[in-house]
């Protein structure tokens, strides 16, 4: 499988968007928590994992339908537990 690399523009965009604002009295651990929360909310790690290897469109569609089936099964289980 061929690897898909992030370009310099991608890294620059990530670097600009992920600078947490630091106040004068903010501790390092608080800044790290805010940064981690920002990265999680914007799904940067997931995006890098998805771009690590090239996937053909057919494989993407199969994976998407597989996840949809799993969600549907979970939704049915959840609704049956309510009664």
Q: What is the pLDDT of residue 58?
A: 97
Please give the radius of gyration of the chain, using alpha carbons only, rounded to the nearest integer.
19
Q: Is the pTM of this model over 0.85?
A: no
Q: Where are the domains of the chain?
A: 1-52, 57-83
pLDDT, tens digit (0-9, with 9 covering 90-100), for 59-68 = 999 999 999 9
Grade residue 1 by pLDDT with cuts at 50, 70 and 90: very low
Residue keyed to tokens 């990265």? 39
Phi-psi region of 43 (alpha: psi -120 to 50; beta: other; left: phi over 0): left
Q: Cβ–Cβ contacts within 10 Å for residue 33, how many?
A: 12
């Amino acid at each position: 499988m061929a690897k898909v690399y992030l370009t310099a523009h991608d890294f620059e965009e990530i670097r600009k968007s992920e600078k947490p604002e630091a106040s004068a009295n903010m501790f390092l651990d608080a800044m790290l928590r805010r940064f981690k929360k920002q990265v999680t909310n914007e799904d940067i790690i997931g995006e890098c994992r998805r771009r690590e290897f090239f996937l053909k469109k057919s494989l993407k569609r199969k994976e998407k339908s597989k996840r949809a089936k799993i969600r549907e099964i979970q939704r049915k289980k959840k609704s049956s537990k309510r009664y």
